[in-house]
Structure 1
Amino acid sequence: MRTSRDLPSPGPGPRRTAVVFDLDGTLVDSEPNYYEAGRRVLLRYGVPGFSWEEHERFIGIGTRETLEVLRREHGIAAPVDELLAAKNREYLALAGAHTEVFPRMRAFVDLLHGSGVPMAVASGSSRAAIDAVLAATGLGGRISAVVSAEEVAGGKPEPDVFLEAARRLGVAPERCVVVEDSAPGVQAARRAGMRCIAVPYVPGAADDPALAGADLLFPGGQGEFDARRAWRWLADSDRTLRRTTR
């Protein structure tokens, strides 16, 4: 596998920008683990046959919000906190055993880290789940701040996780660029006043108007994402921002 060290230099990078990554479906391919954890929990509470197509409805939505909808739709009597704890236990076991980092995203992280660009993760997952994935994949040492939707008032598409990530990084929102895979995430980034790179996880999702509103869109998802192109766009966007804010 090629890493950023094997690639030609992409040229000068951004000077004042911080990058805030969504985690699931953006940095790592954790959706299969979330699907399986949800399927197991629903089966335990009397809901068989939960399909991947049903799971796709909730990609980009926080775990609590997802379970609130499923609890209501399927008439589950257990409180959402009980369901949330059960799903987190299942997910942590699966994530600890295997979580894939998207190779082209790892190359992008390497480029940013090598240039000293501060990075954060802002996710709808629980803090325990985020920490477990970052530790298991080796990404944790390169991330300066982590925010879970558990720690803020509203999950995506509300901007709260991104605004809190900017606060923890000590960077103004307009100086931040979000990397996202879902429409709710792109909406949250725009509401936070941040620029956004969209790399859709779900095939065909690039047609969603919210994703089309991203500043840089890779319609083909991870297979089309280009770390050097994203890097050059960051540098150009940063120079434009500096000129307009002088």
Structure 2
Amino acid sequence: MSSPRTAAVLFDLDGTLIDTEPLYYEATRRVLARHGAPDFGWEQHAGFIGVGTRETLEALAARYAIGSPVDALLAEVNGEHLELLRSSAEVFPQMRKLVERLCAAGVPMAVASGSSREAIGAALAHGGLAGFFPVAVSAEEVGAGKPEPDVFFEAARRLGVAPDACAVLEDSGPGVAAAHAAGMRCLAVLSVPVGPGERPGPAFRTAELVFGGGHAEFTARAAYDWLAV
């Protein structure tokens, strides 16, 4: 049985389209170290992948008893992250191939991300993808970030496409949950891959197609065939 035709494709940014998770980790690590929390490691960061930056910092400020306002911490992290984005953001090669193929087929695309608008713009510009995405929605522009579906609903609205005609590409459990809540099909490329023979966790059960091995397993051809555009 063939998959239903996809009218539009919505991409998460961080860890899905562009390899920015290490940059977010480094930006957060630097800021926390300045505020007296030098032991923030990648394992702790991995637990927040897919969660909005503000929500992450609210949790970390409480965990490390940081007295600075969350808005001030957010400004610091965004500043550090933008510096890194402008020099280090790399598009995952197979994702670039998929974007180019979808563009050639005339499929509308959007970015729907928990990042700030400035960060989204910097990442797409540095990665050479800005021209492919006429619509980019930040969690800053909607009522709530993922796992709430707001960014996906807004991206579909701006593209003029019904939500149930959209497909989402995500890398995190909260993102998959947001896509499911929006009534959209979801393809997941795990940003924290599972080992050979292991199954992805329950957070990914509502995704229709899962690349448990992450970007090492993902191919543009398999994704394009699944999208059935």
- TM-score normalised by L of structure 1: 0.88
Residue 197 of structure 1 aligns to which amino acid in structure 2?
Answer: L
Residue 210 of structure 1 aligns to which amino acid in structure 2?
Answer: A
Q: Give the whole-Å Cα distance in 1 for the aligned partners of 2:221 and 2:33.
A: 44
Q: Does 1:219 align with 2:209?
A: no
Residue 208 of structure 1 aligns to which amino acid in structure 2?
Answer: G
1:131 is matched with which residue: 102, 115, 121? Answer: 121
1:148 is matched with which residue: 138, 157, 174? Answer: 138
Q: Give the whole-Å Cα distance in 2 for the aligned partners of 1:150 and 1:90.
A: 18
Q: Give the whole-Å Cα distance in 2 for the aligned partners of 1:106 and 1:212.
A: 26
Q: Does 1:25 align with 2:18?
A: no
Q: Give the whole-Å Cα distance in 2 for the aligned partners of 1:73 and 1:137.
A: 34
Q: Give the whole-Å Cα distance in 2 for the aligned partners of 1:209 and 1:59.
A: 15
Q: Which residue of 1 aligns with 2:101?
A: 111
Q: Does 1:234 align with 2:227?
A: yes
> How far does the alpha carbon of each residue in 1:181-228 deviate from its partner, in whole angstroms, 9 at most, with x for none?
001000000000101011101022952112132111111111111211
Q: Does 1:77 align with 2:70?
A: no
> How far does the alpha carbon of each residue in 1:36-92 deviate from its partner, in whole angstroms, 9 at most, with x for none?
100110011111121111110111111011000001111111110000000000000
SS of equivalent residue, structure 2 residue 40 = coil
Moved more, 181-190 or 217-226: 217-226
Structural RMSD (CA)? 1.5
Q: Give the whole-Å Cα distance in 2 for the aligned partners of 1:207 and 1:126.
A: 28
SS of equivalent residue, structure 1 residue 207 = coil
1:196 is matched with which residue: 141, 164, 186? Answer: 186
Q: Give the whole-Å Cα distance in 2 for the aligned partners of 1:163 and 1:156.
A: 11
Distance change in 2, residues 1:206/1:182 (3 Å): farther
Contact 2:149–2:181 (8 Å) recurs in 1: yes
Q: Give the whole-Å Cα distance in 1 for the aligned partners of 2:183 and 2:170.
A: 15
Q: Give the whole-Å Cα distance in 2 for the aligned partners of 1:15 and 1:110.
A: 18
Residue 121 of structure 1 aligns to which amino acid in structure 2?
Answer: V
- 1:110, CA displacement in angstroms? 0.8
- 1:163, CA displacement in angstroms? 0.5
Query: 5+ unaligned residues in a row in structure 2: which ranges?
Result: none
Query: 5+ unaligned residues in a row in structure 1: which ranges?
Result: 1-12, 239-246
Q: Give the whole-Å Cα distance in 2 for the aligned partners of 1:16 and 1:189.
A: 14
Q: Which residue of 1 aligns with 2:157?
A: 167
Q: Does 1:179 align with 2:169?
A: yes
Contact 2:6–2:167 (8 Å) recurs in 1: no
Q: Give the whole-Å Cα distance in 2 for the aligned partners of 1:194 and 1:220.
A: 23
Contact 2:6–2:227 (8 Å) recurs in 1: no
SS of equivalent residue, structure 2 residue 174 = helix
Residue 152 of structure 2 aligns to which amino acid in structure 1?
Answer: F
SS of equivalent residue, structure 2 residue 115 = coil
Q: Does 1:49 align with 2:39?
A: yes
Contact 1:206–1:212 (8 Å) recurs in 2: no
Contact 1:200–1:206 (8 Å) recurs in 2: no
> How far does the alpha carbon of each residue in 1:156-179 deviate from its partner, in whole angstroms, 9 at most, with x for none?
000001000000111000010000
Contact 1:195–1:215 (8 Å) recurs in 2: yes
Q: Which has the larger radius of gyration?
A: 1
Residue 48 of structure 1 aligns to which amino acid in structure 2?
Answer: P
